[in-house]
Structures are given as C-alpha cells and as structure tokens.
A and B are shown apart, each in its own frame.
Chain A
Amino acid sequence: MTSSPPIELVCPAGSLPALKTAVDHGADCVYLGFKDATNARNFSGLNFDPAQMREGVAYAHGRGRKVLLALNTYPQVAHFGDWTAAIDRAAELGIDAVIMADPGLMAYAAKTHPQLRLHLSVQGSATSYEAINWYHERFGIQRAVLPRVLAMAQVESVIANTPVEIEVFGFGGLCVMVEGRCALSAYATGESPNCNGACSPGKYVRWEDTPRGMETRLNGILIDRFAEGERAGYPTLCKGRFEVNDETYYALEEPTSLNTLELLPELARIGIRAIKIEGRQRSPAYVAQVTRVWRAALDRLKSGGAEAFSVQPAWMAELNKVSEGQSHTLGAYYRPWK
C-alpha cells in the first residue's frame, strides 16, 4: 500500500466564531474571505475585516491548522487595485494559500509574492487536466478545486495527468451549473458570482404571502410558490419551480445538498488531496455539525482503511439535518443525476 498523504478537510468560515468552531471540531484548513466583492460569498454580515482575519489566522496557526483566503471573483478595471491589495494583505497576514480564479490576478500574485501558495478556485471552471496544467505552468498553482460536474472516472483521469493537487466538494449547497460559467443571477438581477461575488443576492429577494400561497421573487421574477404547510426555501434561481410544456417542477434542480460521504474510500483511492465543505454563509452551528461528522469519517478511513469503512447512519442523520431541503445527492458522481 502506498503511503499517500491524508485527505485534508477544508471547512468554511464566514465569521470568526465559525472559524474557531471549524478548528475546534477538526478542520485541517479553514477558508474565508474579506468583507467585500473580492470573494464569491459577498453577503452582508459575513466575512472578515483585517483585524478579525489576523485573529483568525493566529487561532488556526496556534493549533497547527491552515487558513486559505478566497479571492475568487473576476475584478474589472476600476477595482483591480482592490484585489491586488487583498493579495498583498493576505501575504502580510501569513495566509497559507490564496484561492483565485482570475488569471490576471494570479500573474500578479506569482510575480509579487512568489512564496505565496496559489489554489485555483472552482470559479476558474477548469474541468480537465489540460486546463489545470495551463494554470500550473503559468502561475505555479499547487492545488485546483474541481467544478461539481465530473464523474469519478473523469476525476481520476485528471489526477493521473497533473502534478497539481486536486480538491473536490464533499458537502453543502450544490451548484447545478458549472461554477464560473453561470450568468443566471446576472440575467435576473445584474449581479453574478463571477463579478459581484453573489448569486441570487438577498437585496433582490421578496417573500410575499398571497392567497395563492407564499411566493418568493428575485428582482420581481417569480421563483417559486409554496402551498400551505410547504417549507418555503430561499429563492436561489436554479432551485425554483417553473413551467415547461405545461408541467410545473424543479426544472433545473431541487433544493438539495451535495453529500459524497459514501464515496470517501473511492475519493481516497484515486488520490484526492482535500475535501471542501461548502457554506461560508451558514451558521457556526452548521460548521460544527458538518466538520464533526467529516472529521470522524476521515479519521475512521485513516485508521480502518477503505475496506472497513462504512457510512454510519448517525453521520447521515446529522448531515441531513443541515442539508438544503433536508435531502442530499451525489450530484455528478451519480450518472442518473445528469
């Protein structure tokens, strides 16, 4: 048996309490963002100012954990300097790696801070080893986060053909579209994950109690309508119910979460280096629950090996409690999902 390095557990931190919670519950790395449009979870009340980030880095480093900074939106001319300043600040704060999508920014980081470790964000939409190797050759990226579109054999092929470490999403909100290639939110609201760091932003959301039921709108567009007793979900626009040829259904995706816990032995076998948990917009309680379960699963895999690994019903029960729509899917790893 080869002694491959253990899989790192990468957990979300939308706030200092969430960061401490993730570290306390066994995250190997936490990822976070500044309080501005430089990252893809630019929601009000979320993220870190420099002082909080300094404290967070000290907390994590003091316990032997790493801190990754997401700078994964695409800056335009007028604000390019804000993004490069964020890179400078990351280097100064002792951030362990910066997660980026924009090649222009990566060029800046590689040139200005050659010691700074670079990860390719899922927003970079790199789905093949040819694409990933381009970023490696140009900027020396050391890790890439794969979009949630590939089947297991395709992920395996990527790993076999690149020197770059591969990180995949393990749990959390599921983008049904290729990350970095989705302008649905921009079409509906003018704001997109790529350019503004937010999908279906809260300021465009309206909840209306009507005689027809609870209606959720995004910039005036009806995303869903809920009958009495139905739980009304947030109007993320790809997770609404729409009419297609006189049939009303979740035409793009149900409100559901990705959960790949049962694939863990397989992911380990093909050489995944890190598992990412989605959810910087979620509460510290969510972070605690999800981190605890995944830590336990990874530890079980490490101590018992792949053959002895089985998903504990209690783990799934815990995760389902915090899943969107209280349900989960294997996403693109499961062929019928496509």
Chain B
Amino acid sequence: MKLALGPLLYYWPRQSVLEFYAGIAEGAADSVYLGETVCSRRHELRLEDWLEVAAMLAEAGKEVVLSSQGLIESESDLKTLRRIVGQARFRVEANDMGAVRLLTEHGVRDWVAGPTLNVFNPATLALLQEGGATRWAVAPEMSGAALAELRAHAATPIETEVFAYGRLPLAHSARCFTARHFNLQKDTCEFRCLSIMDGIALRTREGEPFLTLNGVQTQSARVHNLLGDLDAVRPHAELLRISPQGAHTAEILALFRRALDGALAPAEALAASRPLMVEDPCNGFWHGRAGAEQYVAAA
C-alpha cells in the first residue's frame, strides 16, 4: 500500500509552502499531488513554481501528480488547465470533466480520475478508463462497502486511492466564504485566507465545531481519519490519501507508514494521531453513515 499526499487545500505563504515540500521530500509519502485546486485567485505559487517543486520531489524519488482546479469558471481557468494538461513530464489529476476532455484529446493515457468526478458505478469508471484514466481517487462520500462492490464489478481493475486522513473537502462554491466573513467581495478579497493555516472554524450556536471555511471551499470541522480502520480499508485500495494540514503532516504520514507496515496496531495508531489532529476524528463516510460520525463497530 502506497501513501499519497493530497494537494494543499489551504493558502500558505510561499516560503511556508516551499519549506513544507522540502520536508515532504524527506518523508514517508510515495506520491505527492501538487497545484492549486481550490481558488484561481491564489498566486503565492504559479504553475512554474509548482513545476519546480515537482522536479525537486521527483528528484527525491517521489511520484508527482499535478492536480487540476476543481471548479472551472473562466477562460483564464481553462488556459491554466490546458497548460497543466499540455506539460508532458508529470501525471495529471483531472478534477472536472473539462480536464477529462482535454487529457483524452491530447492522447494522455495515464491520468488520475480525481475525487470530484462523481464516479459511483462501474459504467462511469469504464468510460474514464477508456479515456486514459489509470488511477481513481474515490469521492470521500463513498462508503467502503460501495467501493468494494464497485471494484468487484469493474471490467478492468484500476489502481484505487482512498481519502484516509484530513478535513473532508465537502463543497465548492462561486462564493468565497472567507471573504464574506471579513465583509469583503471575492474580487477584492485582500487574500485574507493567506496564512490561515487550517481554515476558519465554523461552529453551531451551541459552540459545536461543524464546518471549516477555506475560501470557496467548505470542509468538515472534524478530521476524517481511517487509521483505526486500516484492516478494513486495505483490501480495497492501493493508495491512501493524506491531506496536508498546518502542522504535523509529516508525522501523520509516518504514523500511517508504521501502521501499514504492522509496526503499530490500527487502534494504537489512531490514539497516537489524536494529539497531531486539529479537531476530533470522524470516519462515518467509510462506514456508510453520516460523515461527521466517529463509528466504532461493535466487537
């Protein structure tokens, strides 16, 4: 089982990003997804910068994947997308059907079908495979049971990546909720999301953590964490995706590595991860339940 580091979903200062990936180059991830997937206004790193980080990571022996933006709105978004698709060196993760079309048109035969493509049945998966997808990152919303069933019915097996750790990317909007919080408009947002390392907490009126505001993206408050479920996940995935967080990402990756190698029991690994997490854990989606639940099967 391989470990993949998902794309950085937050907006960090350039120097923080570069230092973060320098650390990742030394760490336990086998595969690293790079690029801005959330908001086209974020520009601390441009595509050229991401390509440099990619080259550095490749040099360090990591597989690098360039992730495309999840919500394409403008001609300029399409321009960036075409450049990502057009570069030949690194594999691409398609996060909308526009990217799928461009990759297919370019004759690219080894791209990753991203988690926002809504693949829920073998017929849709097969269409993407015909178009050149050779890896599938499963929508976090999909349960383990549904995943197992889909894989059992897939005409051609596909390398499968399961979202195993991090705040869940739950929704995208044209509206920026961070700008809204600061009473700013998106067009003149003053880049207020910069340096908010783990997004802004949204709580219910009872003070319960519920969601996280990350610009145009809304995430869960709780951290989806499948460390305790690794034995159940293992037969259904070839990669596990860990989503970057403000601190301790390298330690989380190392914990997953140790748990996968059998050096730590899943329950111990889950307990060891708790001090490294920004919020309580959840795993409901994997168990076919509300995503916010932390579900422990009866012994």
Q: State the B residues within 8 Å of A (CB).
A: 70-75, 77-78, 81, 96-102, 104, 116, 118, 120-128, 139-141, 146, 149-150, 152-153, 168, 170-177, 179-181, 185-187, 200-208, 210-211, 213, 218, 220, 284-285, 288-292
Residues of A within 8 A of B202 (CB): 242-244, 251
Within 8 A of B (CB), among A124-176: 124-131, 133-135, 137-138, 148-151, 154, 157, 176
Tell whether, in the assembled complex, residue B204 and residue A243 are in contact, meaning their CB atoms are under 8 Å apart.
Answer: yes
Bound-complex Cα distance A94 to B173 (A): 36
Given the interface contacts A102-B121, A150-B73, A154-B74, does A178 sit within 8 Å of B174 by beta carbon?
yes
| Residue with the greatest number of chain A CB neighbours at <10 A, chosen from B126, B150, B153, B204 | B204
A248 CB-CB contact with B under 8 Å:
yes
Tell whether, in the assembled complex, residue B187 and residue A338 are in contact, meaning their CB atoms are under 8 Å apart.
Answer: yes
| Residue with the greatest number of chain A CB neighbours at <10 A, chosen from B100, B152, B201, B211 | B211
* Closest chain B residue to A74, Cβ basis: B120
Residues of A within 8 A of B285 (CB): 186-187
Task: Report A120 CB to chain B, min CB distance, Å.
Answer: 10
Residues of B within 8 A of A177 (CB): 171-173, 218
Q: Of A75, A150, A176, A219, which is within 8 A of B290 by CB?
A: A219
Please give the number of chain A residues whose Cβ is less than 8 angstroms from any Cβ of chain B in the complex. Answer: 70
Tell whether, in the assembled complex, residue A183 and residue B140 are in contact, meaning their CB atoms are under 8 Å apart.
Answer: yes
Tell whether, in the assembled complex, residue B170 and residue A103 are in contact, meaning their CB atoms are under 8 Å apart.
Answer: no
Tell whether, in the assembled complex, residue B186 and residue A338 are in contact, meaning their CB atoms are under 8 Å apart.
Answer: yes
Bound-complex Cα distance A260 to B96 (A): 27
Within 8 A of B (CB), among A296-338: 332, 335-338
Residues of B within 8 A of A126 (CB): 96-98
Task: Report B107 CB to chain A, min CB distance, Å.
Answer: 15
Task: Report A329 CB to chain B, min CB distance, Å.
Answer: 11
Residues of A within 8 A of B208 (CB): 221-222
Q: Of B102, B205, B292, which is within 8 A of A243 by CB?
A: B205
- Kindly supply a per-residue 1/0 record for chain A positions 171-194, scoring 1 wherever the CB is within 8 Å of any chain B CB and 0 otherwise: 000001110111110111110101
Q: Of B127, B170, B204, B213, which is within 8 A of A222 by CB?
A: B204
Tell whether, in the assembled complex, residue A130 and residue B185 are in contact, meaning their CB atoms are under 8 Å apart.
Answer: no
Residues of A within 8 A of B118 (CB): 74, 101-102, 125, 180, 194
Q: Of B180, B187, B290, which is within 8 A of A188 by CB?
A: B290
Residues of A within 8 A of B177 (CB): 251-252
Residues of B within 8 A of A80 (CB): 121, 123
Residues of B within 8 A of A74 (CB): 118, 120-121, 124
The 13 sampled A-B contact pairs (Cβ below 8 Å) are A77-B152, A80-B123, A127-B71, A134-B101, A135-B97, A149-B73, A181-B116, A182-B170, A188-B290, A243-B205, A244-B213, A252-B218, A338-B187
Q: State the A residues within 8 Å of B (CB).
A: 74-78, 80, 101-105, 107-108, 124-131, 133-135, 137-138, 148-151, 154, 157, 176-178, 180-184, 186-190, 192, 194-195, 219, 221-225, 238, 241-245, 247-248, 251-253, 332, 335-338
Tell whether, in the assembled complex, residue A186 and residue B290 are in contact, meaning their CB atoms are under 8 Å apart.
Answer: yes
Can you list the 5 inter-chain pairs with the closest CB atoms, starting with the nearest? A104-B123, A130-B98, A149-B174, A104-B124, A134-B101
Bound-complex Cα distance A222 to B206 (A): 7
Residues of B within 8 A of A184 (CB): 170-171, 211, 218
Bound-complex Cα distance A252 to B288 (A): 26
Task: Report A264 CB to chain B, min CB distance, Å.
Answer: 21
Given the interface contacts A184-B170, A222-B208, does A245 sit within 8 Å of B218 by beta carbon?
no
Give 9 A-B pairs besides A134-B101, A135-B97, A149-B173 with Cβ atoms closer than 8 angstroms: A77-B152, A102-B118, A128-B72, A128-B77, A130-B97, A148-B174, A190-B288, A242-B204, A251-B177
Q: Of B171, B181, B220, which is within 8 A of A251 by CB?
A: B181
Tell whether, in the assembled complex, residue A157 and residue B185 are in contact, meaning their CB atoms are under 8 Å apart.
Answer: no
* Closest chain B residue to A150, Cβ basis: B73
